Amino acid sequence: MESYVEVAFLHNWMSTLLSVWMALFVIQRPLRGRRVLLYSALASLYSSLAFFDHAWIGAAGIELLAFLFVFYRQKALYLVSLLFRALWHATCFIFWEGSFHLGAFFPWVHTPIYLCWLLYGLLFLYLYTHAMTLMKQKFRYGCTLCGKGRPLHLWGYMDSGNLLTHQGLAVLFLDEAYRAQLQGTSCRICVGSIHGKREMEALRLWCALDGGARQQAYVVFVDGLRIRGGYRLLLNLKLLSMR
């Protein structure tokens, strides 16, 4: 059976891009959007045109560079994106038939592959407001903390490594200097670090990222907290799921 190179490139570009977006939605890690677009296009273009001996070396090189400079060595995110891509290719093969080359799917000319593209379009629309937030790789967010007193608005640093939760709520870290400005329900929570685990005082407050929904979170006070850039509030990546 025959397959058009242009159709194969377009299909694999969309499949790769959608797979990365779905992985971002599941793993909740930030990436640079332009690098993701470039990686998806380059990997798809190479697989669609490289029909020579040992072409797999170039494909493997592209994936290695993507793992290092697009996914920033985040193994879980990269592997989940590959898994989603493989599942999409397998689904297309079952419903629309085709062939494979260098990890890319080549739909046959007589198959209505546009039906798959319509499905892709619906998923792109759904993921746009979720995955795109994580692809902006924006680390500086305005955040309003609300206790029993006046609201406190600060610029915080979004740390992709801070996924700490307590009783299902995100845990934020704030400089001890702001302790007197906030009032809320106090409790003790266990906080783990490279130095081990210890119990720390936390307040249960309402918080909201600028332009986002208000939600409850725990705020742990750290004496002398300073983050590069002058930030004194360390945000939790799980807050993005409520934007």
- Provide mean pLDDT across the span 89-112: 92
- Confidence band, pLDDT 50/70/90 cuts, at residue 166: confident
CA atoms within 13 A on the CB side of 44: 25
Q: Per mean pLDDT, which of 110-114, 138-142, 210-214, 227-231 is the most reliable?
A: 110-114
Domains of the chain, by residue range, sit at: 5-135, 140-242
Query: Which residues, in sequence order, are CB contacts of 33 under 8 Å at separation 6+?
Result: 132, 135, 136, 137
Which CATH number is 140-242's, of 3.50.30.40, 2.40.70.10, 3.10.450.50, 3.40.50.300?
2.40.70.10
Residue 116 pLDDT > 70: yes
How confident is the prediction for the chain on average, in pLDDT?
87
**Integer Cα distance of 202 and 182 in angstroms:** 11
**Integer Cα distance of 217 and 145 in angstroms:** 9
- Confidence band, pLDDT 50/70/90 cuts, at residue 137: low
Residue 243 pLDDT > 50: no
Q: Which uninterrupted H or E stretch holds 114?
A: helix 114-135
